[in-house]
Structure 1
């Protein structure tokens, strides 16, 4: 049986409109170690560029203050002493050092000592008999 043209077009239209909704519900793929390293490097570079911007701003403020002092002194105006400010800190060139690989829990030493793990302290006595609950009077 052949479907009329209108019915097949309507079916295709419904399918085309429903497909993005199905894709939207899928979870993003898990991050690979390479993607995590690239994201860490991007974050470090962003932090470094913020430090560079702060350094350039500090230098510009120092130049403006020096020009103001020079022009005020030349005009014979009294110039108050400059407040003590820390010197501009040059962040230096960008150098990325990747974070150290996290050890798995087994290698991190977060478990019981080897002797306890090999022969755990156990007894055949029920816990209720070993630690009875005190009765309220």
Structure 2
């Protein structure tokens, strides 16, 4: 009885895990476009955060140099860094859909002009089995 219970439990676990690994349906065009827009928004947000971090670092550096100057401390000149670049407002333009002919889905023209074939009949290359 105990062995039967173990086998049934193992079978239940295997069947439950198989349903967990079920293949999801592929994303539709609308879902792909939404995912691309979300990725663009995340990239823009990262650029905005980088800009705000740069501005705050500049503000801290100015404050440090002003405080050091009032105390009479000698400071080294600040390192030359790039200017803080503002990303501006978010504007997303979806990429244009390529027609099937331009997407590279077809065979190269070389294969269409001269297919890889021989003049040998199929019967000679694949003789009938007796």
Change (3 A) 1:30 1:108: closer
The aligned runs of 1:1-137 (5 Å cut-off) are: 21=16, 23-104=19-100, 106-108=101-103, 111-112=108-109, 117=112, 125-126=119-120
Gaps of 5+ in 2: 1-8, 122-130
State which drifts further: 32-41 or 71-80.
71-80
Deviation readout 1:89-113 (Å, 9 max, x if unpaired): 0001111111221331x34575428
Cα distance between partner residues in 1 of 2:114 and 2:48: 57
Runs of 4+ deviating beyond 6 Å:
121-124
Larger radius of gyration: 1
How does the TM-score come out when normalised to structure 2?
0.66
Superposed CA RMSD in Å reads 3.2
Cα distance between partner residues in 1 of 2:29 and 2:67: 57
Gaps of 5+ in 1: 1-13, 128-137
Structure whose residues are more often helix by fraction: 2
Cα distance between partner residues in 2 of 1:43 and 1:122: 43
The count of aligned residue pairs is 107
Deviation at 1:77? 1.1
